[in-house]
Amino acid sequence: MKKHIIILLITLLFIPNKIFAYVTTSDRTEDNLQVREELINDDNIEDILNTPKVNEKEKVYDFADLFTSYEEIEIKKKSLSYIEKYNMDLIIVTIDNNNKVNSSEYAKDFYDYNYFGINDSYDGLLYLIDMDNREVYILTVGKAILMYDDIRIDSLLDKTLSSLTLGNYYTSVDIFIKEAINYMEMGIPQSNEGYEIDSNGNLVKIKTVNWIITFVGALLIPSLILWFLISRHKGIKLANTADTYLEKDSISYGESKDIFLTSYKSRVPVIKSTSSGGGRSGGSTISRGSSGRSHGGGGRKF
């Protein structure tokens, strides 16, 4: 009996107290890239082949084994709740081997070359913990670019960084999702007011010139018609200058001069494009991945 108890205790001692889940992936081939056709071009085949193909319904992809199975289940529940409430995708990814140029490019390729995103503009957020580069990266796509401007991205990074530094990876994700929800409840930030997401998923300024032209036209055309009708009447011609009431040579005019003193120039800063072929729209910095699609977001070392 004692022998069995000892064996049981030894067995329990060596059973890991954390049970990790594994990410299921499928192989891509040149004949079957398993990606949206509109994203394929002659220059990104290798990028697609080097991007894991995952089940887009899982939402949590813990390649670095940072979460227990229980933690992964909880993260997925919170992600699905966010997705259902705000109609915007939410993806959590961890890696310990980055085969891309940097964390930003990994996040873009992972999102674009899997079937993520909601609506025609593929709206969604991705939170990447890159253990290879010790970097966290937040990616925004579609309407998420509109909702999470640069200031909000920096705030999200600030609030999750201390947990990452301490190795509390689940806590960092939990904080990220809670803060992402808070910003959704606050609505579009002031910096992106007057902007919208176009059919290509780009953040563009809302065009108001057509409304202005319509308004001016509505006032101008009736005014011209009224002026034309009045001008046809041959009634008494009204005096339209002061000369009518003045005697000639009764007033003398002095000489006046305008003296140029100085000049003033105003300058507006031009924000340069990012190295990955993007620029700044509203309050969100935009860049493009190898797919050609627009993305927002930012990252930080921890």
Give, for all 302 residues of the chain, the pLDDT tens digit.
555 545 444 444 444 455 666 799 999 999 999 999 999 999 999 999 999 999 999 999 999 999 999 999 999 999 999 999 999 999 999 999 999 999 999 999 999 999 999 999 999 999 999 999 999 999 999 999 999 999 999 999 999 999 999 999 999 999 999 999 999 999 999 999 999 998 778 888 887 655 455 555 567 766 677 666 666 655 555 556 666 655 666 555 555 555 545 443 333 333 333 334 456 656 999 999 999 999 999 999 99
Using CB atoms within 10 Å of the CB of residue 25, give its burial: 0 to 12 exposed, 13 to 18 middle, 19+ buried.
middle
Scanning the chain, the segments in alpha helix (DSSP H) are: 2-14, 45-49, 69-86, 103-112, 143-147, 150-165, 169-186, 209-231
For residue 14, give the DSSP letter. Answer: H
Residue 235 covered by a domain: no
Residue 149 covered by a domain: yes
Residue 115 covered by a domain: yes
Question: Whole domain around residue 57: which residue ranges?
Answer: 22-203+279-301
CATH of the domain at 146: 3.10.310.50
The confidence score (pLDDT) of residue 201 equals: 82
Tokens of 300: 């930080």
Residue 4 covered by a domain: no
Q: What is the number of other CB atoms lying within 10 angstroms of the CB of residue 200?
A: 12
Q: Which residues contact 67 (CB under 8 A, 6 or more apart)?
A: 20, 21, 60, 75, 94, 169, 170, 173
Q: What is the number of other CB atoms lying within 10 angstroms of the CB of residue 189?
A: 18
β-bridge partners, 140 = 125, 296
Q: Are 109 and 289 in contact (CB under 8 A)?
A: yes
Tokens of 137: 């990266």
Residue 295 covered by a domain: yes
Residue 263 covered by a domain: no
pTM value surpassing 0.75: no
The confidence score (pLDDT) of residue 236 equals: 55
β-bridge partners, 253 = none
Q: How many domains does the chain have?
A: 1
Q: Which residues contact 173 (CB under 8 A, 6 or more apart)?
A: 67, 75, 92, 127, 129, 160
Sheet with 279-281: strands ordered across? 60-62, 89-95, 124-130, 135-141, 294-301, 284-288, 279-281
The confidence score (pLDDT) of residue 279 equals: 61
Residue 27 covered by a domain: yes
The confidence score (pLDDT) of residue 213 equals: 58
